[in-house]
Amino acid sequence: MPKDSNGNILNEGDTVQVIKDLKIKGTSGTLKRGTKIKNIRLTSKANEVECRIGKSTIVLKTQFLKKI
Strand partners, 16: 37, 67
Given this model, what pLDDT does residue 3 score? 96
pLDDT-derived band at 27, boundaries 50, 70, 90: confident
Domain count, the chain: 1
Q: Does 7 reside within a domain?
A: no
For the segment 47-64, what is each residue's pLDDT rounded down to a tens digit?
Answer: 999 999 989 999 999 999
Q: Answer whether residue 2 is part of any domain.
A: no
What's this model's pTM, rounded to 2 decimal places? Answer: 0.90
The predicted-structure confidence for 1-21, as pLDDT tens digits, reads as follows: 899 999 999 999 999 999 999
CA atoms of 45 and 26, how far apart (whole Å): 21
Task: For residue 57, tell me if it sits in a domain.
Answer: yes
The answer to whether residue 38 is domain-embedded is: yes
Domain that holds residue 62: 16-67
Query: Could you give the CA distance from residue 61 to residue 37 in angstroms, rounded to a whole number?
Result: 13
pLDDT score for 16: 98
pLDDT beyond 90 at 26 = no
Question: What's the CATH number where 22 sits?
Answer: 2.30.30.40
